[in-house]
Each structure stands twice: as C-alpha cells, then as structure tokens.
C-alpha cells in the first residue's frame, strides 16, 4: 500500500480526520441527491461509477461510500435505504450484474477488519452479484461473497459465503433452503420448485 492510502493506514489520527471530512462532504452530496428527481439522481451517480448499465434506478436514501468502486449492469433497481460500503484501502469493489433487484435496507460490506489483530487491521473482499438476482429487504452481504445467477437472498439474511446459482438462501448465516426452476435460455426465474423445498 503506497501513497495516500499508505499514509492513512499508518496514521490513525490523520485517517480518522480525513474520513470525517470525506463523510461530511459525502453527506452533503447525498442530501442534495435526495432532493433531485430519480433521473437526475441516477445521472449523478453514473458520473462516478466506472460501469453503469442502462435503466439503472436509485431510490431515495441510497448510501454509497465510494461510488467509483461500485459497478452495475442493465435494468438494476436499488431501493430505498440500501447502503454500499466498498473497500477503499484494498480496492475491493461491489459488482452488480444485470436484472438485479435490491430491496429496501440491504447492506453491502466489502470492507471489514481483522478480528485477530489488536489494531483491527483493515481487510476486505470484492462482492459480486450475478444476473437475475433478488436480494430481500434488510439482508447483509459480507466481504468476498459471490451470489450466483438467478438466486434469491431472503429478507434479513446475513450472507457470509458464496451462494450457488439458482437457489434461495435465508437465515443467519444464510443457508440454501431450496432450488429454483429457471427458464431455459435466459436464466430468468420461471417458477419455484416446491419439490426441492426441504421443509
């Protein structure tokens, strides 16, 4: 780690001061964006993002700490109160595929801290969400997780490991509760497969 990131990582006081100033400016940006209509709000976020697909919708009260570390495909819907925390120091991103639906209050945490270190050294991992994924309200997605195409994350779940394609996961921590029957060809969900439900 070199340059600004290295200096911030070495000096906790400077790191906190810079972070407080950045968060304050970011708060001002979010305040202004929440006053704008959806199409202008989306346009501003797209200016910061390295990849932003067509028909990308940001509801009110969406929080993105480092927008240049967020990517999204086509027809992505991000509902009210969703929070994105990419990993600034490690450069780990949050990547959403196409046709992704993110319900209200979902939190993505690509950054974390080493619980085995007395100084809680910074850690993290890129979060990758595949195509045709629905993430239920209040779910938490933790660092390094990949969610496979066509999967569903149940409301309130904590996802701390990879999710295979075409399944429904739920719980704390999230576990596979059933498989989904996907339409041939496009990976979209045609119907649930009740025969695969273990309950």
Report the C-alpha gap between 173 and 44 in whole angstroms: 35
Report the C-alpha gap between 73 and 65 in whole angstroms: 19
Q: Please, are residues 161 and 176 in contact by the beta-carbon 8 Å criterion?
A: no
Degrees, nearest 5: CA angle 80-135-148: 145
Cα-to-chain-centroid distance, residue 8: 24
Closest CA to 66 of 99, 11, 110, 130: 110
Return all residues near 79 (Cβ < 8 A) that are at least 6 apart: 59, 101, 102, 103, 104, 105, 106
Q: Encode burial over 142-154: b for 16+ CB neighbours within 10 A, e otherwise.
A: bbbbbbbbbbbbb
Catalytic choice (20, 27, 55, 113): 113
Query: Is 109 part of the annotated catalytic residue set?
Result: no
Report the C-alpha gap between 68 and 86 in whole angstroms: 9
The set of catalytic residues is 113
């Amino acid at each position: 780690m070199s340059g600004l990131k290295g200096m911030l990582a070495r000096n906790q006081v400077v790191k906190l001061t810079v972070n407080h100033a950045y968060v304050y400016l970011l708060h001002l940006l979010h305040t202004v964006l929440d006053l704008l209509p959806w199409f202008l709000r989306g346009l501003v976020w797209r200016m910061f993002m390295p990849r932003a697909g067509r028909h990308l919708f940001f509801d009110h009260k969406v929080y993105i700490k480092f927008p240049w570390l967020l990517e999204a495909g086509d027809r992505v819907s991000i509902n009210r109160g969703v929070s994105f925390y990419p990993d600034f120091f490690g450069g780990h991103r949050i990547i959403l595929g196409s046709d992704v639906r993110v319900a209200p209050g979902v939190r993505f945490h690509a950054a974390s801290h080493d619980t085995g270190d007395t100084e809680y050294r910074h850690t993290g991992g890129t979060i990758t969400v595949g195509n045709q994924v629905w993430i239920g309200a209040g779910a938490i997605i933790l660092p390094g997780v990949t969610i496979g195409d066509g999967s569903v994350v149940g409301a309130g779940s904590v996802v701390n490991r990879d999710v295979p394609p075409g399944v429904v996961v739920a719980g704390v921590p999230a576990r596979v509760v059933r498989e989904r029957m996907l339409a041939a060809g496009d990976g979209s969900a045609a119907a649930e497969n009740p025969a695969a439900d273990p309950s």
